Amino acid sequence: MKILLVEDNLTIIKGLKYSFANAGYELSSTNSIKETIEFLNANQVDLIILDLMLPDGSGEDLFLKRIKQLNIPTLFLTAKDDVDLIVKSLNNGVEDYLTKPFSPEELLARVNRILMRLKKSSLKKVLDISFDMNKMIVYKNNEPIELTSLELKILHLLFLNINHVVLRQTLLDKIWDWTGNIVDDHTVTVYLKRIRQKIQTNIITTIKGIGYRIDEK
């Protein structure tokens, strides 16, 4: 689990790196907006702990203009308990906030809660088939199933619409978007057949002449 701390206080950085390492987390740090953007361009991050006051600008602006678009869960660190800012940030998609000064134990507890919630919501399971929607990995009885990139995208679309029919035309349009290749009804039939053969569990229902659906069992 990779966590990025955006903070310019060296004492806080040192203390949190020690605490997070003891808790089994990989904690990297940056101390400015410029350095953070460069880091995010080169690295995958599971969660960001973001100080709102940085040497070269506002952490709030960094979140709104860059981090939010990357869909990375973020916890704000703020030096003052500004209710209006906190409410605005939560409405804008920030996961949580913590007012300075704080204890490493409280921050770790909040981080654990965020990650547990995200992990639970990202894993969708039907019978013995599980789909990690964040990692784009499909499991059968906890064993990974090898699917091609296009097969994964098709199955992902079906899991995104559990209990709802995905129209054949929608699948045709999506396959064209994903591949740039001309496709027809037969193409959809072939890919669904391959997916069914690989997962070997009857979770995909064909709605004749309309489309396909995965139902919660």
What tens digit of pLDDT does each residue of 135-190 get?
789 999 889 999 999 999 999 999 988 999 999 999 999 998 898 887 888 889 99
| pLDDT for the residue 121 | 67
Domain with residue 76: its CATH number is 3.40.50.2300
Q: Are residues 33 and 93 in the same domain?
A: yes
What tens digit of pLDDT does each residue of 117-139 get?
877 667 888 999 999 887 789 99
What tens digit of pLDDT does each residue of 50-96 get?
999 999 999 999 999 999 888 889 999 998 777 888 888 888 889 99
* Residue at a domain's end among 94, 121, 148: 121
* Residue at a domain's end among 121, 151, 176: 121
- Is residue 78 within a helix (H) or strand (E), and if so which, with residue range? strand 74-78
Closest CA to 75 of 61, 93, 88, 87: 93
8 Å CB contact between 9 and 53: no
Range of the domain at 105: 2-121
CA distance 205 to 119: 27
Give the relative orientation of helices 185-199 and 168-179 as an angle to the nearest 10 degrees.
90
- Calculate the CA 101 to chain-centre distance: 29
Q: Are residues 65 and 134 in the same domain?
A: no
Q: Are residues 67 and 155 in the same domain?
A: no
Q: Are residues 70 and 95 in the same domain?
A: yes
